[in-house]
Amino acid sequence: MDAKGNGEMAAAAAEDVERAIAGPTNPMVTPLLTDLYQFTMFYAYWKAGKHHERSVFDLYFRKNPFGGEYTVFAGLEECIKFIANFKMTEDEISFIRDSLPSSCEDGFFDYLRGIDCSDVEVYAISEGSVVFPKVPLLRVEGPIAVVQLLETPFLTLINYASLVATNAARHRFVAGKSKMLLEFGLRRAQGPDGGIGASKYCYMGGFDATSNVAAGRLFGIPLRGTHSHAFVSSYMSPDEIVEKSLQSSDGSHTCEDFVSLVQTWLNKIQWSPSLRGIFGETNQSELAAFTSYALAFPNNFLALVDTYDVVRSGIPNFCAVALALNDLGYKAVGIRLDSGDLAYLSCEVRKFFCAVAKDFGVPGFEKTGITASNDLNEETLDALNKQGHEVDAYGIGTNLVTCFAQPALGCVFKLVEINNQPRIKLSEDVSKVSIPCKKRSYRLYGREGYPLVDIMTGENEPSPKVGERILCRHPFNESKRAYVVPQQVEELMKCYWPGSSGKPRVELPALKDIRDRCIKQLEKMRPDHMRRLNPTPYKVSVSAKLYDFIHFLWLNEAPVGELQ
C-alpha cells in the first residue's frame, strides 16, 4: 500500500467533506481550545519521531449522572464539525510557539502548519442514543499527536451536551408526555454558550421549546415567551393607556375602548355568583399591563399573574382581560405562575377558570392554560404530581441548564491501542481501569423488545448473532457473567468521519431527527432502568475473549508487590 498516495487521496476527499460540513456552532471552538499539555505532548512525540504512530482512543464515561442508570449521548455533531474544519492558522501557531519553551525546534511549528484531520477516523454511537458507562461513545483513530489534540475539545463538546440532554430527558420522564416543557435557563447558564448549548440539548432530550432567541435562530427550536414582572410594574394604572381600540378577531368591528370593556368585565367577575367575595380591588398597575399586553398580542395573551397577589389580583385581572378579548373573538392563551405553592395555586386558578366558564357561559375557558415556573427541578415536578396540580406547561431554568443536581459528567478519553498493541491504564480504583483494545460494541435485545445488555468485543471477533447464545462477562468482576440469546443485535458505533479509510461516512442527522431518535430510544428502555428511585443498572459486558485479554494485560503491566 502506498501510504502517502492514500493520505493524499484522503486529504482531497476530506476537502470535499470540509466544504460540506460547516464549522462548530461556537466560533471559539478552534484548535487552541485544548489543554496546553496536548501541544507539549505533540512536541515530545514529534521530537521522538513518534507523532505518526497509529493510535486508538476511546471516549466514554464511568458513571451515569443524577443517580440514574442511563445517559443520553449528545455533542457528536459539534465534534464532527470541529474536525471537518480543523486547521491551525498562522496566528495560532505563533501563539503556540510563544507558549512552548524557546528550546523547541522550528521544524515543529512548520509541521503544525500542515496538520488536519484527514487521517483521523471517528466511529461513534448515534447522537441522541441512550448510552451506558464504559461503552465507548466515540472511538478515535489516527496519528497519536493529532488525536491527542482532539481530546480536550471532544470532551468539552460532549460532556456538558450529554449531561444536559440527560437532565432534560429525566425532567421529561417525571413531567409526563402530555405536559409542555419550556427551557428558560439562559440567564443562569454557565456563560453564553452554556445557555445556547442547554437550549439545543434540552430540546434534543425532549423539551418542546426555549426562551433563548439565539438558540431558536441557530437550531430552529420553537420559541416561547411573553412578559416579566418588570413589564407589570412598569405600568401605573389603566389611565396611561392611550390607544384603547381593538379590532375584533374576524375584522368585522372595532371596540373603541377596550380599557373600559376590561373594567366592565372586572366588575362583573367581582360580583359573579361563584366568585363574590374572593377579591376586592385588584392592582391597577397589573390591570394596565395585562390590558396593554392584550392590545399588542390579542391572539397570544398569556399573563404572569404573581407580581402582587395571584388570587386576589392577578387572576381576576387576567380573567377580565381574557373575557374582554373573548367578546372580540379572541381566545386567551393562559397564565404563568412564578412563585408560591404551585400545586395549591394551580388548583385555585383552575377553580377560578371553571367558575368563570360557568358563570359567564364561556365554554372552554376552564381549560385556559396554566404554566408554572420558579426553581423547578425533578423533585419539585415529582412533588407536584404527588400533591395533584393543574399545571399544563412548565418553564424550567436554573436546575435544568446548570444541571444543579450534578453539574459535570466525567467523560474520559483513553488510549486503548497504539501500533496495533493494546494498551491499558491501571488504577488502584478498579472503576478507573480502562478497557484495552480496539473494540466493537453491540446492544443485545431480548424477547420483549427491550435492550438487555451492551457487549464489547475485540475488533476482529465475530459479531453476536440473533438466536445464538453468547457469554457476557462483567469486565472486572469475575463472578458476574450471563448467557444471552439475543433476539436482535445492534452494532453501536458507526463511521462518522472516515479519514483515509475509504469507508462511507454516515451523514449527520438534523436536530429534529436526533430528538426523535432520543425520545424513541428512551421509550424502548425497560421501565425499571428509568425510574427515579433505585433504578436497576443496565448491564454492560465484554466477550469472554476480551475479558481474558484484559486480565492478561493487567497482570502484565502491574508491578508485583513485596510484603515486608
Q: Which of residues 404-463 bind a second copy (CB under 8 A)?
A: 404, 407-411, 413-415, 418, 421, 423-429, 432
Q: How many residues bind a second copy (CB under 8 A)?
A: 131
Q: Does 398 bind a second copy (CB under 8 A)?
A: yes
Q: Does 48 bind a second copy (CB under 8 A)?
A: yes
How many C-beta neighbours within 10 Å does residue 227 have? 18
Footprint on residues 466-505 left by a second copy (CB under 8 A): none
Shortest reach from residue 175's CB to a second copy, in Å: 21
* Closest to a second copy by CB, 347 or 418: 418
Element (H, E) at 153: helix 144-175
Show the cell assigned to 75: 455533542
Footprint on residues 316-335 left by a second copy (CB under 8 A): none
* Closest to a second copy by CB, 155 or 356: 155
* Closest to a second copy by CB, 34 or 118: 34
* Closest to a second copy by CB, 119 or 454: 119
* Closest to a second copy by CB, 65 or 498: 65
Element (H, E) at 416: strand 412-418
Footprint on residues 216-255 left by a second copy (CB under 8 A): 216-217, 223-231, 233-234, 236, 240-243
Show the cell assigned to 411: 467523560
Shortest reach from residue 471's CB to a second copy, in Å: 28
Shortest reach from residue 152's CB to a second copy, in Å: 5
- Assess contact for 259 and 241: CB atoms under 8 A: yes
Footprint on residues 288-317 left by a second copy (CB under 8 A): 292-293, 295-300, 307-309, 312-313
Footprint on residues 14-33 left by a second copy (CB under 8 A): 24-30, 32-33
**CA quadruple 17, 120, 92, 153: dihedral positive or negative?**
positive
Which of 118, 126, 162, 211 binds a second copy (CB under 8 A)? It is 211
Q: Does 551 bind a second copy (CB under 8 A)?
A: no
* Closest to a second copy by CB, 12 or 213: 213
Show the cell assigned to 340: 408560591
d(C-alpha 418, C-alpha 423), whole Å: 7
- Assess contact for 135 and 60: CB atoms under 8 A: yes
Residue 395's nearest CA partner among 142, 522, 208 is: 208
**CA quadruple 431, 436, 441, 446: dihedral positive or negative?**
negative
Provide the mask over 189-208, with x wherever binding to a second copy is found by CB under 8 A and - wherever it is not.
xxxxxxxxx-----------
How many C-beta neighbours within 10 Å does residue 476 have? 16
d(C-alpha 93, C-alpha 30), whole Å: 12
d(C-alpha 161, C-alpha 391), whole Å: 28
Burial of 420 (0-12, 13-18, 19+ CB in 10 A): exposed
Shortest reach from residue 109's CB to a second copy, in Å: 14
Shortest reach from residue 288's CB to a second copy, in Å: 9
* Closest to a second copy by CB, 279 or 445: 279
d(C-alpha 326, C-alpha 249), whole Å: 9
Q: Does 148 bind a second copy (CB under 8 A)?
A: yes
